[in-house]
Each structure stands twice: as structure tokens, then as C-alpha cells.
Amino acid sequence: MIERFKPGPVTLAVVLALALAGWLASGAVNSFRDDEPAPAHSPAAPDLPRVETRWLEAEMHAPRLTVQGQIEAWQQVDVAARIAATVEALPVSVGLPVRAGEVLVRLSEDTRREQIARFEAEARLREREFAAVERLRGSNMQTETEALRLQSELARIRAELAAARMALRDTEPRAPFDAMLDRHLVEVGDFVQPGTPLLRLVAIDRLKVSAQVPQQEVLHLAEGQHAEVELLDGRRLSGRLVFIASAADAGTRSFRIEIEVANPDRLRVAGASATLRVHLEPVRAHRISPALLVLDADGRLGVRAVDGDERVVQFPVRLLGVSGETAWVAGLEERVRLVTRGGGFVEPGDRVVAVDAD
């Protein structure tokens, strides 16, 4: 006689545990986490995962590109000597403003005035000789060669006279633009040669803020866009984008940009770092929680939504900005049914039961 198998309590427990494990593996379990109860009005569909969704409409958004920048003086130059001479005076003190054309240094004149007087006298003599030759040549009493020789001599003397006058002017180097005298590079009594730096001028009534912009962001920039510069102490200056490099840096693949910033208070911030925000053109975008952003297999940023067939779709998006608990993204349809809960338990293409959030 064949004895029938009668499962005991332990055996029944094992069977139930195995059945439960199989059910969990099949994906039929509710996709919400234990600490996120499903909405009370969600339909019963034990064979499909459930996700919570919310309809989102695109809004107008003014994105900003934020990068770290370096503040520079708008103009900075080392005024150098053009002649060999001795420094006789430094009439402007360090730290004071100077106007364009103001004398900055006085160098020794030496014999330059005497040279000018000699060249002037020699030029007058050659002019009279040339005039006499011209009169004689008109009556065929002088050769053409003599006239050309005297004309060449007169041109040489005039060139030497002009050089001597310029050398005398160079004994008083002047400011090429309005600026602050930042540093003396010589002392009274120093002998300088042509090219020796004498002092440093820095113009800070305007500032230049430079930064490197990633190659994927530079296409959204245009000269003239408004920009804001935040200093390390929290103060903010207003400016505009005035330069975008035509080619990327070979090492970083980023593009250099420059912002012109007014500095009417002459803040001494040149050389410091700052946060740079360029205001881009307004676009239609969606405002979501940063927690909803996911990456696809290729590392591209995206969000998950549900289409008309109740299937999960992953849309690639471009992140426009993040502030606190809000992220602005572009690339979605005008109206989209975004997955707000349960998206981590489903994959693109899965059929789901979508429950709209209250």
C-alpha cells in the first residue's frame, strides 16, 4: 500500500517562503518602498508594479551659468624708459590716482637740448643751400646730382632733429591712461637704459573677470549677456560678457570668457577669485526635485515618465541649474507625466500602474 504524503507545519512554512520569494522575484511586488505607502485610491493590479506620477507643465526659466573666475585689473602696464638717463624725480606717490598725460617720472636731460639746437641750426643751413640750388637749377647752372645730394642731407638732418626732440620728451614719461600708481620700480638716482621698467600703473575703475567655460556650455553664451560677480565677502558687482574665445584650451577643452565689470568705488579686488554668474536667455523648462534625476547606461542625465500606454519612458534632459531642493531641466515635452515615486523599481519599457499624486 502506497502511503500518501502529508505535509507537516514545517514543510508548509518552507513552501510558503519559497512561493513568496518567487513572487518577489517576478517583479509583481508593489514598487513603493515600505516607508512610502501607496495611495489609498490606487487600483489593485498585483501583476504590475505601481508608480506615483505627477503631471508637470513647462515654465519660463532664466537659467544662469555659474563658474569660478579670476578678477583682473582692466588695464595694467609697466611704464618703461625709452632713453638712457638718470632718474631725477618721482613726482607721484604710490597708491595715488593719475590722469592720462600726467608726468610720472623725470629723467635727466643731459645734453639733449643742445643737440636739438645744433640740429635746428644745421637744418636751417641745409634748407638755404637747397633753396639756392633749386634757383640755380632753374637757370641750368647747377647739376641735378647736387640738388639730390642736398635734398638727402636736409632729410637726414630733419630726421635727427625729430629724434632729438622725441628723446627730450622721453625725459618725462607720462601716464598712457587714467589709473592708480601701483608701484615704483626704480629709485631716484638710478641709471636706466631703454626698456628698463620705471613704474606700474593699474586701472581699476573697471575690472575684468575671466573664467573657463566647459565646451558643452559655451554654445549658450553670447556677447552682451548680463553677468553678476560675487566677491569672497559676499558683495556683488554687475557686468556684461565682452569676450568668448574662438577656440578651446587644448588641455582642458574649455573656453575662456571675460566679463567687464564697473568698479566705481575702486575696490581693491584685482587678483582675487570670485563666483561668476552669466544670465542666459530665458527658456521653457521643468522644475523638478533633484532626487528624480537618473543616469542611463551611457551616463547621460535623464528623468523617468509614463507615456500614454502606461509604459515607463526615460527622457534625456539638460540640467539648467540646481538651487536647494529644486532642479531646472530642459528637453522634456511641454506637458509630461513624471514618475515621482517608485521609479527606482522599474526600468524603461516596463508596463506599470500609474497613480497620480494628490
Predicted local confidence at residue 203, as pLDDT: 93
Does the pLDDT value for residue 41 go beyond 50? no
How do the domains of the chain map onto residue ranges? 50-62+283-356, 109-170
Does the pLDDT value for residue 81 go beyond 60? yes
Condensed to tens digits (0 to 9), the pLDDT of residues 100-122 reads 999 999 999 999 999 999 999 99
> 50-62+283-356: which CATH number, 3.40.47.10, 2.40.420.20, 3.20.20.70, 2.60.40.2550?
2.40.420.20
Q: What mean pLDDT do residues 129-139 have?
A: 71
Predicted local confidence at residue 276, as pLDDT: 95
Residue 46: pLDDT band by 50, 70, 90 thresholds? low
Condensed to tens digits (0 to 9), the pLDDT of residues 138-187 reads 555 556 777 788 888 889 999 999 999 999 999 999 999 999 999 999 99
Condensed to tens digits (0 to 9), the pLDDT of residues 297-317 reads 888 999 999 999 999 999 999
Stated pTM of the model: 0.61
Q: HEC profile for the chain?
A: CCCCCCCCHHHHHHHHHHHHHHHHHCCCCCCCCCCCCCCCCCCCCCCCCEEEEEEEECEEECCEEEEEEEEEEEEEEEEECCCCEEEEECCCCCCCEECCCCECCEECCCCHHHHHHHHHHHHHHHHHHHHHHHHHHHCCCCCHHHHHHHHHHHHHHHHHHHHHHHHHHCCCCECCCCEEEEEECCCCCCEECCCCEEEEEEEEEEEEEEEEEECCCHHHCCCCCEEEEECCCCCEEEEEEEEECCCCCCCCCEEEEEEEEECCCCCCCCCCEEEEEEECCCEEEEEECHHHCEECCCCCEEEEEECCCCEEEEEECEEEEEECCEEEEECCCCEEEEEEECHHHCCCCCECEEEECC
Task: Report percent pLDDT > 90 for the chain.
Answer: 65
